[in-house]
A and B are shown apart, each in its own frame.
Chain A
Amino acid sequence: MTPRVIDPRSTANATLTVAERTDLLVVGAGPAGLAAAIAAARHGMSVVLVDENPVAPETMGDDVPLHFGQRMSGAVRNRTAMTEAMLGAEPALADAMEAGVDVRLGTAAWGLYANGPSVGWLPGKVAGLTDGEASWMLGFKSAIVAAGRRDMGLAFPGWQLPGVMGATAAERLARLGALDVRRAVILGSSAEALLAAIAMRQAGVEVAAIVEQAPAPIGPAALLDQLAGVPVLTRHVIAAARGEAGGVTGAALARLDDDGRRIAGDPVTVGCDTAVLGIGAVPVIELLDAIGCRSVFSPARGGHVPDVDAAQMTTVPGIYAVGDCAGVWAAKSMDRAVAEAEGRRAAAHAAQAADASDGAHAPEEPAVDLSAYRLAWVRSAVVEAAPGFGAEAHVCQCEEVTAREILEVRPPRYLNWPHPLRNSTDLSALLGQGPPNADQVKRLTRAGMGLCQGRRCREQVAALLALGAGAGLGEVPLATFRAPVRPIPLGLAALPESPDMAEHWDVWFGIPGQFAGGWELEATQAPAAKP
């Protein structure tokens, strides 16, 4: 057999520098990730557990990874103190260290990579990690992703003001004693919204009202009982966040009729310094989506979630999803044992050990139709936003794209496009025979292409496309996630290249004659010699 020829400029000749290796990487030190890490260590695996918290204050200021809305207190500037606060709030972190888990706080996983149908050059599965000082690749045999949840955005007028923040962000800051809020209005009444309200009250925040567009609160009665005394305004929607540059000073609330349509009339303004986005707790699937795990739309699990088997393994072998990123539902949000059991099940499978944990918890029957519920919020608060509240809100705050611009597929405003469009380029003309495609709309309008990487607008854009196409949320594929799933400075991301790669680096394919002038070639010359 003749020896195999290698194209020296291809990845067949590239070597990846892997700084360290472990049996198991766990991403996220919440209940599920901690349970997984501790169980795996006890099964004899080497385990690295990373959690990006405490996040650098500048990063939090960009609403990465959660919608913090500038409501962090000065405490976040002291990362050592924040680390201590994390350890104090989560005793299982000490248990993990005790069990031999290599716990790394302040370390983010920005990418997971594996060989697959179009990638064959990697030396096994690898993760890109950064601690803000450096970035490196960690090789692993299995990864358990416990990346948690974040909050669906809602582009009502004024939502860009400091003081509009996510429920998950509020709950986290409250637990760490780093929340700078005095009086809050909660938008939404899901279990996660109510849990945030409870945590905020425990942190000394006055909860002025819970606002719900649905005819009744959707969260568990047990949680509502804990919030006794807080007005629950059903069939209401936020018309605008009032305020100035310093932040929110009030929430203007509009009444809805029995069909969920706005009732004309002056909205009532509730004084507050914070409006909490609690309309949708979204599983954080970005690392999983970027590595190619199949996801499915599951209303019972909070939206788009990875397709996992009984051992919590995704469709990419050796990659598991546990905790909120594998599905958010009320019973799981209220009892950490549910997430912990998922973590232990994944760890046992990764360790090829007998599973000592209890069986899988299935989500309860959803309290509402998740698609209809989220679409109703977007329709009443964004699409039907009444004029008179100032400029139209930007659904995508990074790239400043409004709902109208998304639905009409307008070129971004930095182009100052002078000509009236001759064609009907609205959504229906664009879609033709297929389902709405969020990626296509993203590339044309730039919605979701900014620094926050679409974390604030992705679900809203999908909802707008669904409303525009008369479809359900499940029919609109979510816009794709790409590594790095956290913004990383070029200088930090830069990887040294192997000598082979350096020697043969080429701007393009390096095919002899590819860039030769046509006049320098004979029309009938033989095909170029092999490289």
Chain B
Amino acid sequence: MSDDAADPADTTGASVIIVGGGATGLSAGWWLARAGVDVLVIDKGIVAWEASGRNGGGCTHAFSPLFREEQRLWPQMDELLGYPTEFSAGRIRIAMDAAQWDDAHRVVRYGERHGFQTEVLDAAQLRELVPLAGEAHGAYWHHFGGHANPHRTVQGYAWAMQDHGGRVLQHTTVHGFAVENGRVTAVETDRGRLGCDHLVLAAGPQTGKLAAALGVRVPVAAARAEMIVTEPLPLMPVGGADGNGLYGRQTLRGNLAYGGGPHEWLEECDGMGVPPRSSTPLMGNIAAHLIEMFPRARHARIIRSWAGVIENTPDGRPVIDRLPDPSNVVVATLSSIGFGLSPATGHAIQELVTDGACGFADLSTLCLSRFDGLEGDWAAQRGWQPVPTARSPAG
């Protein structure tokens, strides 16, 4: 989009409207724009802002049906987008005890199933590749996967999509939809009615509310999770090292960015607002886990902690599905694991929109119909509810 292009705010619609400018929605927008489709991404705030930009940056999801596509795409993403993602290949998983070691083996197994190799590191090798690590029970070096910079990548999707003629409309709230003859024909926003031939809902924690406006139940519960980041440290040969109950990475700038531990369930999102992304003293608990794994980083100073708000489905797995009714709607919630898979997710959504089905992966385990018959109080049954206020004495 050139500087003198018409103001996106003057638009009356697009062939495909995507609600939600996070990793999933913007990747889908980029794939659609690359395919020559007229696409408009709407966000209630600014793009790449919510959980999409606040996560661990991991790109290693061997359990997902989109894994092969994730692995195929990440090494090319800088080139494909034309913007830096800071993707770095490879992951090291450090286990501090036997239970963590057994748990870590699952990814080894899953990787092998797809023909990817994992190496077992001895103490000297671990020290060489991850100099901040100390004595560990064991460590795996996955020769697949990796990590990237979420802020930069998601903004890169937005810019690359604009390069291909796609448009972004920020600070725009969706109020509802016009449906005629089983198809969504327009999105009602605070900027007026925007016509569309297809609709993609990829609005994170708000996806449930938006789908409800179409008479469709997408069960999601929102929660807050926290991360910390330290000052920059000398770069380790492999920055994508985590374990000991933490996810995260050393960024290419050298900061240690890690999260893990308790999450906090939130009230159902009221309207389109997002609860404050407050962090809490869990920072100290994350720090304790981090220096157990990286004892040589105990003098590294924490300079920020933060929280993101993410959604989960009842079984913790994504919904990526084209609805039977209305028939021109694709719903996507990645159930708290969206960033790393986003290159592949966007591709899948593009094919669901343009072809009606995903040709490169079997998405049947991600269908929405698996929740047909789900009890109304499913969240309460799981304890996915805010902490009772009784725990919070005044003062």
Contact = CB atoms under 8 A, between A and B. Distances in A.
Contacts of A433: 7-9, 169-172
Nearest to B226: A11
Interface in A110-152: 111, 113, 115-126, 128, 135, 137, 141
Interface size class, chain A: 35 or more
A49 B385 CA distance: 37
A517 B63 contact: yes
Contact of B300 (A417, A490, A505, A513): A490
Contacts of A6: 383
B383 A12 contact: yes
B84 interface: yes
Interface stretch (A33-41, A65-73, A366-374, A419-427): A419-427
A108 to B, nearest CB: 13
B290 A490 contact: yes
B247 A527 contact: no
A414 B362 CA distance: 39
B168 A432 contact: yes
Contacts of A488: 301-302
B96 to A, nearest CB: 12
B124 interface: no
Interface stretch (B25-33, B311-319, B346-354): B311-319
Q: Most B CB atoms within 10 A — which of A120, A411, A428, A484? A: A120
Interface of A is mostly: loop
A118 B297 contact: no
B151 A444 contact: yes
A505 B263 CA distance: 10
Interface stretch (B195-203, B322-330, B367-375): B367-375
Contact of B284 (A118, A292, A494): A494
Contacts of B181: none
A479 to B, nearest CB: 11
A446 interface: yes
Interface stretch (A194-202, A225-233, A380-388, A518-526): A518-526
Contact of A411 (B8, B84, B162): B84
Interface string A479-492: 00011100111110
Nearest to B299: A489
Nearest to A21: B395
Contacts of A487: 231, 301-303
Contacts of A530: 381-383
Interface string A434-458: 1001001001101001110100000
Contacts of A309: none
Contact of A494 (B8, B172, B287): B287
Nearest to B106: A515
Interface string A486-510: 0111110111110001001111110
A528 B291 contact: no
A67 to B, nearest CB: 17
Contact of B64 (A8, A484, A518): A518
Given A422-B163, A489-B300, A525-B370, A483 B279 contact: yes
Interface in A151-170: none
A488 B304 CA distance: 10
Contacts of B315: 511-514, 527-528
B344 to A, nearest CB: 13
A507 B387 contact: no
Contact of B374 (A4, A123, A527): A527
Contacts of B175: none
A174 B72 CA distance: 62
B271 interface: no
A510 to B, nearest CB: 9
Contact of A432 (B170, B276, B303): B170
Contact of A515 (B9, B63, B84, B276): B63
A52 to B, nearest CB: 15
Contact of A125 (B253, B369, B395): B395
Interface in B264-303: 264-267, 275-285, 287-291, 297-303
Interface string B384-395: 111111011111
B188 interface: no
B144 interface: no
A482 B307 CA distance: 10
A493 B223 contact: no
Contact of A524 (B277, B287, B309, B369): B369
Contact of B301 (A5, A141, A490): A490
A125 to B, nearest CB: 7
A526 B378 CA distance: 12
B300 A495 contact: no
B336 interface: yes
B365 A527 contact: no
Contacts of B2: 424
A119 B282 CA distance: 12
A495 B301 contact: no
Contacts of B163: 422-423
Contacts of A429: 1, 3, 159, 162
B55 to A, nearest CB: 11
A12 B391 CA distance: 9
B137 interface: no
Contacts of B282: 11, 14
Contacts of A470: none
A523 B285 contact: no
B86 interface: yes
B155 interface: yes
Contacts of B378: 527
B206 interface: no
Contacts of A318: 395
B359 interface: no
Contacts of A113: 278, 280-281
A415 B87 CA distance: 11
Q: Which 10 A-B pairs have the closest CB atoms?
A: A495-B284, A514-B316, A511-B316, A491-B298, A120-B387, A487-B301, A7-B383, A118-B275, A494-B288, A5-B383
Interface of A: 4-14, 16, 111, 113, 115-126, 128, 135, 137, 141, 291-292, 318, 399, 411-412, 414-415, 417, 419, 421-425, 428-429, 432-434, 437, 440, 443-444, 446, 449-451, 453, 482-484, 487-491, 493-497, 501, 504-509, 511-519, 521, 523-528, 530-531
18 contacts: A4-B383, A5-B381, A5-B382, A5-B383, A6-B383, A11-B263, A125-B395, A415-B84, A415-B252, A423-B1, A423-B159, A424-B2, A433-B9, A495-B283, A507-B246, A515-B63, A517-B62, A527-B315
Given A13-B262, A523-B364, 15 more contacts: A5-B380, A10-B265, A14-B282, A16-B281, A119-B264, A121-B391, A124-B394, A292-B278, A433-B170, A483-B304, A484-B302, A490-B300, A497-B285, A507-B260, A530-B383
